[in-house]
Amino acid sequence: MADQNCLVTNDWICGEYLRSRSHELTEATLQHIWITAVSVLIGLVVAFPLALLARRGKHFAGPVLGLTTVLYTVPSLAMFSLLLPLFGLSAALVVTGLVLYSLTILVRNILAGLQAVPQEAREAARGMGYGPVRLLWEVELPLALPALMAGLRIATVSTVALTTVGSLVGKGGLGNLIEEALPSLFKAQVLTAAVLCVLLAVAADLLLLGAQRLLTPWTRIRRPAAASAGAGTAKTEAG
């Protein structure tokens, strides 16, 4: 009875809201995850060739980095308004806007990772007969993975937050619930949707962090080795 009263008294924390609106919450969460995942994946596909283009030299890097930075500074309302004639009030409108926002993070991190590859590794691979394509996929890209994954984590968390803005066109996942609840200040719905959004961001970041650790095992090996070397040096100096 007390749980039912929390809806009447409009409490922030209400178990009855979770029970009675579980289907609505699940549907909004799944839409949020779908829009975020699709946007980040498409953003990654678009960002990779742009980063390769920017790596060719300053004449390409300036326009590419400049354009992606300008896109990120466009307010979401203005961005969706510009895209509206092309996509209408659809999920494609939101996904396209989120893809454009993700480019500035993804392009810069992919480019930074590729530029950080040691020249010695490139020269050794060329000496073994590696062509440009094989060099990229088997040498440069694996070594650039830490920076790439770091950018992917930032872009994903950012996209989880920005997806809520899609509520402007009714395609904002959990943002739809927040927008619906604000006029009447339905506290339980506002808080629940906000908390779920935060949990999605944390879960996505942890998932990508785990994937990064699996894909880059050498980053975990270097630290103990370096620590052992430092300990050995300290013992030698002490002796």
Q: Which two tokens stand for residue 118?
A: 């040691």
| pLDDT at res. 57 | 77
Count Cα neighbours of 197 within 13 Å in the Cβ-side half-sphere: 22
Residue keyed to tokens 């980095």: 65
**Mean pLDDT, the chain, as a whole number?**
82
Question: What percentage of residues in the chain have a pLDDT greater than 90?
Answer: 25
Tens digits of residue pLDDT in 220-232: 665 554 444 444 5
- DSSP one-letter code for 138: I
For residue 193, count other CB atoms closer than 10 A to its CB: 27
pTM, 2 dp: 0.81
